[in-house]
Amino acid sequence: MMRISETVKHLIIINVIMFIGTLFIGNGVLFFDLFAMHFPKNEAFQPWQIITHMFIHGGFQHLFFNMLMLYFFGSMLESAIGRNKFLFLYISAGLGALALQMGEQYIRYLLMERQALDLGYSSSQVIQVFKEGKIFVDIGQDFNDIYRTITFGASGAIMGVLAASAYVFPNAEIMLLFPPIPIKLKYLAVGMIGADLLSAILTGTPLMANSNVGYLAHVGGAITGFLIMYFWKKTQFNNNRWN
C-alpha cells in the first residue's frame, strides 16, 4: 500500500473536519452558507469562499471518492515534486477549476441580465427580484438558478493533481476499483478528463457521475494542473525537482 504523504494527510484531515462540521453544526446549512462558493452577485458570497469551497463536500460518497483519489495521486505527486510545489499546484488547480466554471456561469448570467435590462429592469431591481424568490418567466429558470448556484468540493483540485501525476508518471499502472483491472495512468487521466469535457459540451448529459457534477470545473482543474507541471518541467525550474 502506498504511504500517504504529509501534505496529502493534512488536506484529508481538513476535508474530514469540514465534512463533520456540515453534519453537526448549524443543521447542515451553516457550513454551506459560510464556506461553499456562492455566485458573486449573490448576497451570500464572501471572498474567503474562493478557497474554502474546496474543503466542503455534499455527502459521504462525495468525500470518500475525492479523498481516495487525493490519497493515491496526491501522495505519488508530492513524493516527486515536494510539499511546497504540490500545495501550490493543488490550490492553483482548485482556483483554475473555479475560474472556468464560474466564468462560464458569469457570461451566461450577463447575457440574461441584458435581456432583463431590455425588459425595463435595472440591475438593482434584478437582484431584488432574486431576493424575493421570484422568477423571470420571460427569461427562463436558468437566470434564477445561476444566481443561487453554490459550488463546492475538492474534485477540481484533485483533477489537477491527476493530470499532473499523469504527466510525471504516464506509464504508472493503477488498479481500478470497478472493474478491478490495471490501467496506465495516462489512459486513466485522458479517459476521465475527456469524459468530463464531453459532458460539459453536451450540456447536462453526463457520461460519468451525475448532472450535479461541475464538469467544467474538472476540466479547468486538469488544465491548470497540467500546465503548471508542463511549465516546471519545460523550464527546469529546479534541477532536483524530480528526485
Distance in angstroms (rounded) separating the CA atoms of residues 158 and 94: 8
Predicted TM-score (pTM) of the model is: 0.90
Residues of the chain with pLDDT > 90, as a percent, come to 66
List the domain boundaries for the chain: 6-235
CA distances from 161 to 45, 88, 98 (A): 27, 11, 15
Q: How far is CA 52 from the centre of its chain?
A: 11
pLDDT band at residue 238 under the 50/70/90 scheme: low
* C-alpha span between 202 and 206 (Å, rounded): 8
Q: What is the enclosing helix (H) or strand (E) of 157? A: helix 155-168
Q: What is the pLDDT of residue 103?
A: 94
Q: pLDDT band for 211, please (50, 70, 90 cuts).
A: low
Q: Is residue 222 a contact partner of residue 160, using CB atoms and an 8 Å limit? A: yes
* pLDDT above 60 for 208: no
Residue 242 pLDDT exceeds 50: no
Q: Which CATH class is domain 6-235?
A: mainly alpha
Chain segment 141-176, per-residue pLDDT in tens: 888 888 999 999 999 999 999 999 999 999 999 888
Q: What are the tens digits of pLDDT across the range 82-116?
A: 999 999 999 999 999 999 999 999 999 999 999 98
